[in-house]
Structure 1
């Protein structure tokens, strides 16, 4: 099965191409040069360099969220368009799980963190169980304080490019060894994402596939805060 993977959920652009267990190629850049401009040229370049054509792929795997609202929309829209146009399978993978999967061989709970601003984070916890990465604490948007409370007393391993932002707070309750020291593990990897997606079931309906934001955008939160919702009254916002 030939797989193309795409992750634009945060600052990193990660693309990978696999053919079953064979790695054909990947692109990873950690300096955001505007994913809306760079993604498709990068996909085209990588596919060409590995000697394939778009029609050769069987599956598209995309980082579904959480992450940057704009980044997620770009990646998910591109993945849906490719999957629909090429009539191939589409799989969504948690952006947090993609980071956790980098941490091969860790016995602790692996805790990937994305900065959600105002001392809030997107985070979850994952654990290797018999060679399978299992989600043991659901991906969620919460305060860093709340996250640390949920993890109290456990052996954990924090990972992600935003971990350094919260280093001092983490070290109050956890030792230095609880923070990842391998720089490569902090960033999404297109091959890791493709490998995860190879094991999952494709979505039933490509058109219904949406990013997993885990949090409303601020404008929508502010709007909802000003509305008086009455029982039995239909929402002003129609889902389309």
Structure 2
């Protein structure tokens, strides 16, 4: 089966075209606040590269956040419309899972503004602690040698880590969650909408 996977929840535009267990084409482009402008041209480019037709797409996969209030909704809205109009399955994945991939003892942190971050502890793609929002001081206090930090580590004065988002989409396939009713799918924000307006 041919799958189109999308993530616009944070700093990148990620699109992965996967056939069965193999990545056929993909991109992960820094596109902060530009995902809506670039997602369709890149999708078309990758479809042409793979030689796929829209009618061949068997299912879609989309990240549900946490992340940018507007960003999360870009890929999700496109995926919901495509899945419902074409009557194909829709799967979801947490943005924190997408960052961690199948890493052992991963601690993902993504900028949530105001000296806070979305965090999640995962092992082989599975949450071992529920996603939450913590202050940078709380995150610093939790650091230890057993955790593999990934994400916006510059918030802690550390180099950012490289993430192979396209490969992670494929590796995490066993953990994709089937959406029973795409109309009821909502983003995972972890905080109130008003908090996203803080600059």
The question of a shared fold, defined as TM-score above 0.5 by the shorter chain, is answered with yes
By percentage of residues, which structure has more strand? 2
Q: Paired residues, what number?
A: 198
Segments ≥4 residues shifted beyond 6 Å? 219-222
> CA offsets per residue over residues 45-104 of structure 1, 9 Å max, x none?
21121011112111111111001111101111111111112211111100011111164x
State the shift of 1:220 in Å.
Answer: 9.0
TM-score by length of 1: 0.74
Which residue pairs with 1:237 in the alignment?
none
Among 140, 146, 162, the residue aligned to 1:155: 146
TM-score of the two chains, using structure 2 as the length reference:
0.89
Q: 1:127, 1:192 → 2: CA distance?
A: 14
Assess if the C-alpha contact under 8 Å between 1:124 and 1:137 holds in 2. yes
In the other structure, the counterpart of 2:133 is 141
Following the alignment from structure 2 to structure 1, what is the Cα–Cα distance between the partners of residues 197 and 22? 45
Q: Paired residue for 2:71?
A: 71
Unaligned residue ranges in structure 1 (runs of 5+): 169-178, 223-240
Tell me if the contact between 2:108 and 2:121 (Cα under 8 Å) persists in the aligned partners. Answer: yes
For the pair shown, which has the larger CA radius of gyration, 1 or 2? 1
Alpha-carbon distance change, 33 to 212 in structure 1, aligned in 2, over 3 angstroms? closer
Change (3 A) 1:194 1:59: farther
Contact kept? 1:60, 1:88, Cα under 8 Å: yes
Unaligned runs of 5+ in 2: none
